[in-house]
């Protein structure tokens, strides 16, 4: 007797294909769900307001000086600058930072390193604060007279606060004389009063470039 045994190959193949498709679809749905959850929490985290902590720039180490009115000598002072002197580098308590035009006394200059040290007259104190400036952008300095004419008689130029109509303006005196910066040590001493115009307002964290440097009282006789 002959036994007939037939295997339905096509039917078995279709079943395997269906299983594969179902597994693929389930895996795809699961992946999409996982991705959706991740994207949701990522966007939630991105939209959450962040607290920004303001870190105040530390005041750089500096020296302080005072003018002796009798001898007109600038001498170092040992007073506590934190407790007794409000400096122009203190950005808190409502005091503005240094402006574009400063005044004070010459200290020293390093022509090789392009660094000028200047004793700045503080806004809220008679104390002078030693600060460094960069001379890279200037090749000359200017000499001004010690007095300015006015309808009420001459004015001591040291008492004048220089202002600018705009950042592009440059302080000017019709009597000024120009000299090469390399000659500055022939004219300047620690008693020389200085006006200094900066490229930008003084910033502790940046290099501060001089735009115009003026020595008072060095005009040729």
Q: Which helix (H) or strand (E) holds 131?
A: strand 128-134
- Positive or negative torsion for Cα 174, 179, 181, 183: negative
10 falls in which pLDDT band (50, 70, 90)? low
Same domain, 150 and 188: yes
pLDDT computed for residue 197 by the predictor:
93
- Tens of pLDDT, residue by residue over 120-132, are 887 767 788 888 9
68 occurs within a structural domain? yes
Rounded to the nearest 5 degrees, what angle is found at the Cα of 117, between the Cα atoms of 114 and 118?
Answer: 135
Is residue 44 over pLDDT 80? no
pLDDT computed for residue 28 by the predictor:
73
142 occurs within a structural domain? yes
pLDDT computed for residue 6 by the predictor:
47
Residue 125, number of CB atoms within 10 A of its CB: 17
Is residue 102 over pLDDT 80? yes
- Give the start-end residues of each E strand in 41-112: 64-68, 73-76, 101-110
What residues make up the domain containing 160? 64-216
Same domain, 37 and 139: no
pLDDT computed for residue 94 by the predictor:
47
184 occurs within a structural domain? yes
1 occurs within a structural domain? no
Select the more confidently predicted residue: 12 or 120.
120
**Span 194-219, mean pLDDT?**
90
**Span 24-46, mean pLDDT?**
70
Most confident of 5-19, 148-162, 204-218: 204-218
pLDDT computed for residue 135 by the predictor:
97
Helix ranges (DSSP H) in the chain: 9-47, 81-84
Per DSSP, the three-state class of 20 is helix
94 occurs within a structural domain? yes
Same domain, 33 and 135: no
How much is the pTM? 0.67
91 falls in which pLDDT band (50, 70, 90)? very low
Q: Which of these, 97, 63, 99, lies nearest to 81 by C-alpha position? A: 63
Same domain, 97 and 176: yes
Same domain, 187 and 142: yes
196 falls in which pLDDT band (50, 70, 90)? very high
Q: Which residues pair with 115 in a beta bridge?
A: 110, 134
78 occurs within a structural domain? yes
Is residue 12 over pLDDT 70? no
Same domain, 107 and 133: yes
Residue 88, number of CB atoms within 10 A of its CB: 20
| Structural domain count, the chain | 2
Rg (C-alpha) for the chain, rounded Å, is 37
- Tens of pLDDT, residue by residue over 158-191, are 888 887 877 789 999 999 999 999 999 999 998 8
């Amino acid at each position: 007797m002959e036994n007939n045994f037939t295997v339905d190959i096509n039917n078995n193949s279709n079943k395997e294909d269906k299983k594969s498709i179902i597994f693929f679809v389930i895996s795809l749905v699961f992946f999409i769900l996982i991705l959706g959850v991740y994207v949701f929490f990522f966007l939630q985290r991105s939209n959450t307001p962040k607290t920004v902590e303001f870190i105040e720039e530390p005041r750089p180490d500096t020296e302080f000086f005072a003018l002796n009115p009798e001898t007109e000598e600038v001498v170092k002072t040992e007073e506590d600058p934190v407790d007794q002197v409000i400096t122009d580098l203190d950005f808190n308590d409502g005091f503005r930072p240094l402006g574009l035009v400063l005044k004070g006394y010459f200290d020293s200059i390093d022509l090789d390193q392009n660094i000028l040290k200047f004793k700045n007259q503080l806004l809220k104190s008679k104390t002078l604060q030693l600060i460094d400036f960069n001379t890279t952008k200037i090749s000359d300095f200017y000499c001004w007279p010690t007095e300015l004419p006015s309808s009420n008689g001459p004015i001591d130029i040291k008492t004048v606060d220089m202002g600018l109509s705009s950042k592009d303006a440059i302080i000017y005196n019709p009597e000024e004389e120009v000299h090469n910066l390399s000659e500055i040590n022939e004219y300047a001493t620690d008693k020389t009063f200085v006006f200094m115009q900066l490229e930008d307002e003084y910033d502790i964290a940046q290099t501060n470039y001089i735009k115009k440097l003026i020595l008072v009282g060095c005009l040729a006789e």
